[in-house]
A and B are shown apart, each in its own frame.
Chain A
Amino acid sequence: MYPAPAVTALIDAQFVPVRQHVKQQPQAWHRFAIRWTPTVLVLSPEGKEIRRIEGFLPEDEFIGQLELALGHLATTKKDWRTAERWFETASGREHTDAGPEGQYWAGVARYSGSHAHEELAELRRRFEGRYAGTSWAKRASVW
């Protein structure tokens, strides 16, 4: 996944990239409770775990996961607009697991920024179309 230009461009632009080899840096395995390789951790600058990606993913899936991570990082700062933008970007990856998850969290970010309950109802309606039947649609069905 790393040789893909879109992956390297996103990592170069948004992250401080670190590589730890489980045999050369075994202490890191314990420090971050790694269970399997490949594992990719996204951590805030303060060290808070934002997302854990275990196992190989194809390019589009992996980029979607990184976009979700950037959205969740923005939520830790209550930067709802930035969070919504990243989640919406992920939601456009229609053939990935990140797509429906991005749609869900984009709606949550809109609600968190506005506290308008109609945002949650709108999110439920959106799931009646794109991504109907996914686990994320089930989560939104309560609204």
Chain B
Amino acid sequence: MATTAHEIAWQHDVDAAFDEAKRTNRPLLIDFTAAPN
């Protein structure tokens, strides 16, 4: 999905994100929220 400059491409699968983090050598930032979608 294309995003604008002001959107973050949030992922929702933590384990898949860890795989990407290892592959790209970047840290994970996990935002825990209770805000309505």
A residues 75-129 near B (Cβ < 8 Å) are none
Interface centre among B8, B13, B17 (most CB of A within 10 A): B8
Q: Is the CB of B33 within 8 A of A22?
A: yes
Residues of chain A with a CB closer than 8 A to B27's CB: 14-16, 42-45, 50, 69-70, 73
B1-20 contact mask (Cβ, 8 Å, vs A): 1 or 0: 00001111111111001101
Number of A-B contacts defined by CB within 8 Å? 117
Residues of chain A with a CB closer than 8 A to B34's CB: 21-23, 37-38
Q: Is the CB of B32 within 8 A of A22?
A: yes
Q: Is the CB of A5 within 8 A of B6?
A: yes
Q: What's the interface size class on B, roughly? A: 20 to 34
Residues of chain B with a CB closer than 8 A to A15's CB: 26-29
What are 19 A-B interface contacts by the 8 Å CB criterion? A2-B31, A11-B8, A11-B29, A14-B27, A16-B20, A16-B28, A18-B14, A18-B17, A18-B30, A19-B30, A20-B32, A20-B33, A22-B34, A23-B34, A34-B32, A37-B34, A40-B32, A42-B29, A50-B27
Residues of chain A with a CB closer than 8 A to B13's CB: 18
List 3 A-B pairs, minimum CB-CB distance, nearest first: A15-B29, A19-B10, A45-B21
* Measured CA separation A99–B8 after assembly (Å): 26
Q: What's the interface size class on A, roughly? A: 35 or more
Q: Is the CB of A2 within 8 A of B29?
A: no
CB distance from A66 to the nearest CB of B (A): 8
Whose C-beta in chain A lies nearest to the C-beta of B24?
A16
* Measured CA separation A37–B37 after assembly (Å): 14
In the complex, whether A132 has a CB less than 8 A from a CB of chain B is no
* Measured CA separation A42–B29 after assembly (Å): 5
Contact A17 B18, CB 8 Å, known A43-B27, A45-B26: no
